[in-house]
Amino acid sequence: MWRAADAVPSPTDDLDALERRLAHGDGLFVVAEADGRLVGTLIGGWDGWRAGLYRLAVHPQWRRRGIATRLIGEVEARLGHLGARRISLRVFHDSPGAIELWRSVGYHALPEESVFAKNLARPRR
């Protein structure tokens, strides 16, 4: 689904990572279905201190129907219920419409912050 939605891949996008995330069982991995098909995803994260949103994707055939907005609202509500007071996310500049979408649901860029990342080598099995 992420490939079909042209989601920007990252080093953490693999089956092992997805299974580990699902194993948390915290109800923060939300999907949208239509006609029995997966058409959207959004993953919330909460460590008891910080909340984040990850991997919002809607299948191209199902865009512009409010699916992303509903996914965001659902995960925000779940995070709020868990005690989150602020939610952070990353927006890739080359994702068409992404900045506009996030602004339309109340998010804004923080001019005083920058995102830093370091990819770690995957452990050998």
- The pLDDT confidence band at residue 8, using thresholds 50, 70 and 90, is confident
How would you list the strands of the sheet with 87-89, edge to edge?
A: 29-34, 37-46, 51-58, 87-89
Burial 86-102 (b: 16+ CB within 10 A, else e): ebebeeeeebeebeebb
pLDDT digits (tens, 9 = 90+) for 45-102: 999 999 999 999 999 999 999 999 999 999 999 999 999 999 999 998 888 889 999 9
pTM of the model: 0.87
| Per-chain mean pLDDT for the chain | 89
